[in-house]
Amino acid sequence: MRLSEEGKQLLLEGARALGEDVGPHLPRFDRLYDLLTEANQQVNLTALREERAVVIKHFLDSLSCLLSGRLEGELAVIDVGTGAGFPGLPLKIVRPALRMHFLEATRKKLRYVEEASTALGLPGTAFLWDRAEAVAHRPRWRERFDRAVVRAVGPMGEISELCLPLLRVGGYLIAQKGPEVGAELEGAEEGLKPLGGVLEEVKAFELPFTGDQRRLVIIKKVAPSAPRYPRKPEAIARHGLF
């Protein structure tokens, strides 16, 4: 299904509220909506189906990562646990210079993201089908990225362990969270040390139209991560660093 005129207006206005003009990119968002709704009939990619919900909670919510102010330029970015391509696909559409790497453990989801990216004609992308725990120990990928973005993959302690070893020193983790993230950040100062991270900022804002409270947690990589991290999935789940 294509985006309705109302859907396009919603996206334009919402993006404007986030400081972005998506006018030039509307054809691609229209196409992305079509691809997503089409694929969602075959495989269950996302629970959100209503147009308004997809525009606000997937497209606009993904674009809100730009409020970090740290996604400008030709950066190597990894979207850890991208699912159906969020936040990576919308970010790549509006910031084509980003070298976007989509990491996803579920093959059918990653395959859809790759097909969608190709259909949208987005160059400068890579697709990694694996778990972050494995990818982060490969010399080709460890400490290689300028930025990691992550939405809805786990609590802060877990995603920090998955993402920070992928970042080069000087890079940033940008995690999309809700207002309850404060509790997840208890003990973060100590817990981030072996990963080489420091909590730099928690940026609060409201999602356009819904008024839903959102937080961007921004963690800076200031030193190499200890080689043993990330640990195996069971160890991370059983005993998080914080």
Binding site for ligand SAH (CB under 6 A): 81-84, 86, 103-106, 109, 131-133, 151-153, 162
Nearest C-alpha neighbor of 132 from the set 209, 213, 78:
78
CB of 81 to ligand SAH, least distance (A): 3
Concatenate the DSSP letters of all residues of 14-49 into one string. Answer: HHHHTT---GGGHHHHHHHHHHHHHHHHHS---S--
CB of 123 to ligand SAH, least distance (A): 22
- Residue 95 or residue 151: which is nearer to ligand SAH going by CB? 151
- Residue 9 or residue 44: which is nearer to ligand SAH going by CB? 44
CA distances from 141 to 69, 86, 119, 128, 168 (A): 24, 21, 26, 10, 10
Strand partners, 216: 176, 203
Strand partners, 127: 102
- Residue 151 or residue 177: which is nearer to ligand SAH going by CB? 151
The whole-angstrom separation of Cα 64 and Cα 174 is 11
CB of 7 to ligand SAH, least distance (A): 18
CB of 19 to ligand SAH, least distance (A): 21
CB of 80 to ligand SAH, least distance (A): 6
- Residue 86 or residue 172: which is nearer to ligand SAH going by CB? 86
- Residue 23 or residue 178: which is nearer to ligand SAH going by CB? 178
